[in-house]
Amino acid sequence: MIGCCSGLMQRVDRFLFASCSPATCVLLRVAYAALLLIYVSVWSLDAVRWFSDVGVLHVDTARTLSQGPSWALFFWLPATPTMVKVCLAILGIQSLCLLLGIGSRFQAACIFLWLVSFQSRNSLIADREDDVFRVFAFCLMFMPLDHAWSLGKRWWPQLYRRLTREANAGPTAAAVRDQAAAWGLRLLQIHLTLMYLSAAASKWLGVAWRDGSALFYVYQMDNLFGRGPLPEMITQSDHLIRLATWSVLVVETALPFALWYRRTRVAAVVLGIGLHLSIEYTMHLFLFQWIMVISLLSFIDLPSRTASKPKSA
């Protein structure tokens, strides 16, 4: 019994630590930061309206509506237009630093705090897209984000080594540290899996999804659907509508399992990206599809650039 438990713990350790690629974490950092800059830029257009006391929601009302803990920064800082603009500018600067790899894990932690603060300040305009952005930042906090493509590591190598306790460590030890620290990637993968499981379960409970008519009602949503042109033979065909509806149902049901199976992983990622790009083409959902595409890339193991081998004696 003890041997079985020990073997199980070793497998769990390998799953959480030794089987992740730090290069994938770097790709996620760059892609997420680029998307976050767009996200923050759009927020800045109406920041005073949405997040200050002279806008549509007073801070006391926001605190009442907030269902989480009241430790968001805007519940303690003055909710003036100037303060909102300054905080949003800081968020933009830290997003740029994350993109460039300057103290990336610190930037990710600060970005998480900023997103919680802004989203709690006006939860009425938040949706699932905002939740994914927030959770993504939380997962980034635990990843080896400066493994490569890092200006901070290039400009201040001595400081970087001191902060990461690599001053007396060789290149092999540094690579092992990065590999072991990549367990945050698993958090993102598990979160994505649970999202697809939840979406599939919700659809299976709906009669319209089971009988194949759900997308017919989606096609009638003029405020969301119709971003890209589609031939009328698709939107008016009963058979094609049922085929498209069941295809979405099958893909979302299969993804949580196919993503974890090595032989089907690449195909699952391709199918998932195809699903989200098709939704992006047809519907107005801002950045939700793109943050999901980036999340799917967490299942792709990129080869890491290994440091130079130590010279043999």
**pLDDT classification of 235: cutoffs 50, 70, 90:** confident
User: Residue 273, SS3?
Assistant: helix
pLDDT of 105 > 60? The answer is yes
pLDDT of 245 > 90? The answer is yes
Question: Residue 307: what pLDDT?
Answer: 41
Phi-psi region of 103 (alpha: psi -120 to 50; beta: other; left: phi over 0): left
Query: Of all helices (H) and strands (E), which one includes residue 281?
Result: helix 262-282
Q: Give the C-alpha separation, 177 to 144, whole Å.
A: 9
Euclidean distance between the first and the last CA atom of the chain, given in angstroms as a whole number: 45
pLDDT of 4 > 80? The answer is no
Give per-residue pLDDT as tens, 184-218. 899 999 999 999 999 999 999 999 999 999 999 99
Give per-residue pLDDT as tens, 267-301. 999 999 999 999 999 999 999 999 999 999 999 98
Domain layout of the chain by residue ranges: 20-169, 186-300
Q: Give the C-alpha separation, 250 to 272, whole Å.
A: 11
**pLDDT classification of 174: cutoffs 50, 70, 90:** low
**pLDDT classification of 181: cutoffs 50, 70, 90:** low
Question: Residue 232: what pLDDT?
Answer: 85
Give per-residue pLDDT as tens, 130-159. 999 999 999 999 998 888 888 877 776 655
Measured at the CA of 280, the angle between CA 276 and CA 285, to 5 degrees, comes to 110
The answer to whether 117 and 87 have CB atoms below 8 angstroms apart is yes
* Strongest mean pLDDT among 14-28, 211-225, 260-274: 260-274
